Amino acid sequence: MTTMIETGKLAERLNAICDAQPFVTRFMVRALGSGETIGRGADEETPSASTRKTSIMMAALKAAHEGRLDLDEQITYEKRFAEEVASGMFRYLTPGIVISLRDAITGMMVLSDNVCTKMVFERLTLEEVDSYCKSIGMTGTNHRFLIPPLALSPDHSLKAVTTTTARDQVYLLQTILDAQDAQEAADRLGCSQALCAYALQTLKNQILRYAIPSRLPFGVLVAHKGGTGKRGRMNAGIVYRDGSPFFIIAAFTDDVPQEMPDGTPGYTVALETIGRLSRACWDEFQS
């Protein structure tokens, strides 16, 4: 009974944070101690931005597990990889650098480097990644493009980008987490437990500290992947407390204005909103 009361209190707090802004915020949060979940538009299709890369990583690891990809394959950075790319650091580097497919996955995840994303995605197909998501239970996720065009307008349609749901992202992170100890979860992902351990560690290695980690105590570990879209900002991750998984949260802002009434950039408030949601969960789940 106490858990339900606390969860109800938290739901009110989370919804108040969302209601305070003029844009849409969809989220799902799961307390890993009790299993309680709270959602707001958690099954609604929403632009994924780079949160999609977690599923791309897992599809690549499945292909590696099946022997169709070699994580040690050497890939040469070619100038063409930097075309239509607006994230990461590789686009500023001199062509000719050679890295492994494993390192390309790392770059795709920890710096959201889209040169690295191209390297990874060229070894898969769009249909393969989309089918992979559907096969593991991410039925609300639709991979539509390799890299979204830079000229995409802020009012683009959902069908112009890859979309997902907050529920799908929580499910994927939960399954990766479960696979650390359960072979059944690893089998569901089509990977070995060792590859699932690599996936979780890669999420833990995330360098960008906005959104979910931004209002948490310094040093708190968050295994997460964020996203920058034309319609909003998003983030999905596992928050740890005292070395153990504490809660999972996936939050997606949408229809975010370029500028707020007070002149603050809309994306700043979108990221701050996700940070406030995360902090509220941190406070309430341990109260």
Sequential pLDDT tens for the chain (287 residues): 233 335 789 999 999 999 999 999 999 999 999 999 999 999 999 999 999 999 999 999 999 999 999 999 999 999 999 998 888 999 999 999 999 999 999 999 999 999 999 999 999 999 999 999 999 999 999 999 877 777 788 889 898 899 999 999 999 999 999 999 999 999 999 999 999 999 999 999 999 899 999 999 999 999 999 999 999 999 999 999 999 999 999 999 999 999 999 999 999 999 999 999 999 999 999 86
Q: At what angle do helices 53-65 and 193-204 cross, to 10 degrees?
A: 150
Give the predicted TM-score (pTM) of the model.
Answer: 0.95
Tokens, residue 282: 């941190």
Q: Name every residue whose Cβ is closer than 8 Å to that of residue 139 and which is 6 or more positions away in sequence.
A: 168
What is the enclosing helix (H) or strand (E) of 221?
none
pLDDT at 287: 65
Query: What is the reported pLDDT for 6?
Result: 52
Identify the CATH assignment for 9-50+125-284 out of 1.10.3720.10, 3.40.190.10, 3.40.50.1820, 3.40.710.10: 3.40.710.10
Q: Tell me if residue 187 falls in helix, strand or coil.
A: helix
What integer pLDDT is reported at residue 82 of this predicted model?
93
Instruction: Locate CATH 3.40.710.10 in the chain.
Output: 9-50+125-284
Q: Would you say 233 and 216 are in contact if contact means Cβ atoms under 8 Å apart?
A: no
Residue 274 has what pLDDT?
Answer: 98
**Size (the chain), residues:** 287
The dihedrals phi and psi of 43, each to the nearest 5 degrees, come to: -105, 5
